[in-house]
Chains A and B, each alone.
Chain A
Amino acid sequence: MNSVDPKAFMAVTAAARLLAIDDSELIHRLLKFRLQHERLEIHGAINAREGLVMARELQPDVILLDIDMEDMNGFDVLTTLKNDPLTQDIAVIFISGTEEAMDKVRALDQGAVDFVTKPFEVVELKARVRTAIRSQRLLKMLAQRAQIDGLTGLWNRAYMDQRLAAEVDEARRHGQPLSMILCDIDRFKHHNDHFGHPFGDLVIERFAQILSGGRSSDVACRYGGEEFCVILPSTTAIEAEEVANRYREQLEHIAWSDHPGLVVTASFGVTELGSGRDTVESILKAADTALYHAKQGGRNRVVVSAPA
Chain B
Amino acid sequence: MPDDAPIRSVFADDPDMATLIDEFVSSLTTRASTILERLDQGATEQARVLAHQLKGAGGGYGFPQVTDAARIVELAIREKRLDDAHDAAQDLIRLCTRVSS
Contacts and interface: CB of A to CB of B under 8 A. Distances in A.
Interface of A: 23-24, 26-27, 29-30, 33-34, 66, 68, 70, 96-97, 118-120
Closest 5 CB pairs of A and B: A119-B59, A118-B56, A26-B57, A97-B56, A24-B53
Given A24-B57, A26-B24, A70-B49, 11 more contacts: A24-B56, A26-B60, A26-B61, A27-B60, A66-B56, A96-B56, A97-B55, A118-B56, A119-B59, A119-B60, A119-B67
Contacts of B49: 23, 68, 70
A96 B49 CA distance: 12
A68 B58 CA distance: 16
Interface residues of B, number: 17
A33 B57 CA distance: 13
B60 A23 contact: no
B8 interface: no
Contacts of A30: 20, 57, 60-61
B53 A119 contact: no
Contacts of B17: 33
A86 B31 CA distance: 38
A30 B52 CA distance: 16
Interface string B58-83: 11110010010000000000000000
Given A26-B24, A26-B57, A30-B57, A119 B52 contact: no
B101 to A, nearest CB: 14
Given A29-B20, A30-B20, A33-B20, A68 B52 contact: yes
B23 interface: yes
B54 to A, nearest CB: 8
Nearest to B62: A119
Interface of B: 17, 20, 23-24, 49, 52-61, 64, 67
Contacts of A23: 49, 53
Contacts of B53: 23-24, 26-27
17 contacts: A24-B53, A24-B57, A26-B24, A26-B54, A26-B61, A27-B56, A29-B23, A30-B61, A66-B56, A97-B52, A118-B55, A118-B56, A118-B59, A118-B60, A119-B56, A119-B58, A119-B64
Nearest to A31: B60
B23 to A, nearest CB: 7
Output the residue of B53, B58, B67 with the most chain A CB within 10 A.
B53
Contact of A119 (B20, B24, B57): B57
Contacts of B24: 26
A247 to B, nearest CB: 59
Contacts of B57: 24, 26-27, 30, 118-119
B64 to A, nearest CB: 7
Nearest to A67: B52
Contacts of A120: 60
A145 to B, nearest CB: 39
Nearest to B54: A26
